[in-house]
Chain A
Amino acid sequence: MKKQLRIGSVVLALTLSVSSLAACSSKNDDSGAASPSGSAPSSSAATGAKDTITALLPPVSPTYQDNFAQMEKDFNALYPNLTLKIEPASWEDMTQKLDTQVNAGSPPDIAFIGSDGISKYAQQGMLMDITDTATPDMISDYDSAPLEYMKNGNGLYGFPAYMEVHALGGNKQFLEEAGIDWKKVQKDGWTYDEFREAIKKGVVKEGDTTKRYGFVFATSGVAAKDYLGILVKSAGMPAAFTKDLKYAYTSKNYLEVLKDVRQMIDDGSMPKELSSVDAGKRWNMFLTGQTMITGKGLATFENSANKNNAKIDANDGSAVKDSIKVDYIVLPVPSFAGQPPVSSTVVDGYVTFRGKKEPTAEHKANVVKAAYFLASGKVAATTNNDLFAAHITKTAREAAKSMTVNRNPDNVAAVETMLSHAAPARPDIPVDLGAKAIKIENEVIVPKMQALLANEIKPEEMYDAVKKAAIEAFGEDGIVQD
């Protein structure tokens, strides 16, 4: 009996450990056909051999993840020998999940990320250059500007899904009450001085209490990076480096922007608590009538505002609490220091990865097919319409003809105007310089910007800190000194 108990205990303990080890395993080899990046499929796609392409995809648009099963089915119908296996991820999990897989040497074949993440993964050597695999038909389908964002050096690392402009969003009623000719602003833009006067007019006070601000931008935490990054583009610094690869944020115009950032808060046009206002908070403030202009604004916000308006009309309890009906107006970011406006853009897309082993040509071709399938035609048309984002491929524009979108035509035209002077991609910036700039941004610019917004340091102190870090990183000759 004692012996049986002992044997039983050992068997149980071993079973537990084996099952816990099995649970830790990330490999999914149920079909035997799965081919994670880096491990080659058994034979060529040209011969119709089976292959599986894995994709890690976040909820790009509100209905995007609902369409995964259909997307997998459609892809398989198009390429019967290929299986597209989509792993959904939340936006919150996306970076961490992908980073973990990349550093373990087994990333998915395709991941949906921002084009600004390309240099980070390229530095790791984990991206798959598809320059020699993407066919001329595929390449010619794309508008050239967004496609450039998917490049680093001479390599092409995937296909773009959309190119959205970082704009501002205005409440039509409040803009008109403040006497702002928003149609003219949409067409001709505005300078910082004009913008400053406009947002002053948007402030509504009751005694000492501000009931409505002229302008609220999400700046909490890393969002401070977005705020400053968007503003400096229209201050003669469309990228962190000039064309001759000198670090640009040491220009005197950078200091001017910092002074203006502080000035808008000191005017009372923006809340003094701005440094703690996150994206959710400022959108809530916009829908509840606590601000006239909000930022940053993306095209999809018009859709969100419309949906909330419909809920208010239907007396639906899920409408944002205390919200009012809002006609969302797309507005450009003002220009600073007499510089021409340059729109900040966001280009996200389907980036192609490789594993520890060199992928075979056949597998690479299959990954490219899958990335192109996701980033063009019907899939792209459906997703971009859902986002109110402009189409960037001929095939998506064609597919979108049969789809209806309830967009304000003035906003569509305003976005087109802003895209016409969008900041160009800079694949020429070497990976190591880019990495140093990102480090300065995270370790100096964002923390100092938070302190500047909280009125704990002066614009000059922040400027000096950025300049000091830039000189340490790039040397006196590696920075702009004007």
Chain B
Amino acid sequence: MAQQAAKIKKRRLQDDGAWGYLFIAVALVVYALFTAYPVVSAFIISFQDYKPLGSTFIGFDNYVSTFHSELFWKSIRNTVVYTVLTVPVALFLSFSVAILILPLKKWMQTAFKAIYYLPVVASGVALSVVWLWIYDPMPEGIFNKLIGLFGAHNQNWLGTTTYSMLSLVIMAWLSSHGAAIIIYLAALLGIDESYYEAADLDGAGFLQKLWHIVVPSLKPTTLFLLVTSVIGSFQVFQNAYLMTGGGPDHATTMVGLLIFDNAFKYFEFGKAAAQSLILALIIAVISLFQFKFLGKDVEY
């Protein structure tokens, strides 16, 4: 009897399936606590007038007021404009830099990767302070000095509806491409040399190789970066919060900032949760379209 029990115990300890469940249990618990629970909780709060001392159920009121809010639609429009202007250019710049780094020696590649990745490690707040300095509206501001060289008058970069969004877009264009560059570079290094050799034999030039070998080979990488960049761009918050506060006249109020304001400025957590879920739905639909239309001939 005792021998049989020992055998069962031994079999349990050698059962790979059980060990597998045990291993994923840790990650599952963490996921359930810090990801799944907040999502479920946000879903519930979106139907409530949230108060720490007792919330009340108000049905779809938060969703209805969101759909009737001019400011919500303006923030969605601002976010779409920001995304359309920043993501394609950012991808193009990252791709171009990766192509430029590729032929370099390994130590130089590493050095450039580190240089380009550095802003990702730096504090976003510190970077914003530098950009505020660059966009100083007075004549001594760096951008104003720059345009002054061409005879232009100094501009109020962040203080006018004409330039504030453009200023945020320029900031996005010129910073933080590190992660995309590294991903592109890894993908470029993964392209089989034999393709280039065959192209050389056929007498293909640089642009032909780029168009017929590199671009198709990097399609899965580009799709991945496009989807994640669009998601990141739709959730953009920090730049608008630190640089313009959403102004002037809500010209740079992104949906992420609006959600933050509703939650932490007005304590309307129910409305903020509803808007978060609407945003999640919009992002999901856009991602679905991206996969459907751009991922057709992508092999993973």
Interface residue ranges, A against B (CB under 8 Å): 3, 6, 9-10, 13-14, 16-17, 20-21, 95-96, 99, 102-105, 120, 123-126, 209, 220-222, 271-273, 275-277, 281, 356, 435, 438-439, 442-443, 446-448, 450-451, 453-454, 456-457
Contacts and interface: CB of A to CB of B under 8 A. Distances in A.
Given A443-B71, A451-B161, A272 B156 contact: yes
Contacts of B14: 3
Interface string B1-42: 000000000000110000100110010011001000000000
Contacts of A120: 267
Contacts of A457: 249
Contacts of A95: 264
Contacts of B154: 273
A230 to B, nearest CB: 19
A17 B249 contact: no
B130 interface: no
A442 B261 contact: yes
B19 A273 contact: no
A450 B264 contact: no
B116 interface: no
Contact of A277 (B51, B137, B250): B137
A21 B244 CA distance: 36
Q: From DSSP, what is the main secondary structure of chain A's interface residues?
A: helix
Given A14-B26, A442-B261, A450 B159 contact: yes
Contacts of A96: 264
A410 to B, nearest CB: 32
Contacts of A105: 52-53
B245 interface: yes
B22 A10 contact: yes
Most chain A CB atoms below 10 A, which of B136, B162, B247, B261: B247
A21 B158 CA distance: 41
Given A273-B138, A276-B159, A442-B261, A222 B245 contact: yes
B158 A276 contact: yes
In order of increasing CB-CB distance, the 10 nearest A-B pairs are: A450-B248, A273-B137, A275-B159, A276-B159, A276-B137, A451-B249, A221-B245, A105-B52, A13-B26, A447-B249
B23 A13 contact: yes
Contacts of A272: 156
Contacts of A451: 161, 248-249
B150 interface: no
Interface of B: 13-14, 19, 22-23, 26, 29-30, 33, 51-53, 71, 135-139, 154, 156-162, 244-250, 261, 264-267, 269
A451 B248 CA distance: 6
**Main secondary structure on chain B at its contact with chain A?**
loop
Given A10-B23, A277-B137, A454 B160 contact: yes
A327 to B, nearest CB: 25
B51 A99 contact: no
A262 to B, nearest CB: 14
Contacts of B135: 276
B170 to A, nearest CB: 16
Contacts of A16: 26
Given A221-B244, A450-B159, A456 B267 contact: no
Contacts of B160: 275, 454, 456
Contacts of B161: 451, 454, 456
Contacts of A209: 139
B13 to A, nearest CB: 6
A454 B156 contact: yes
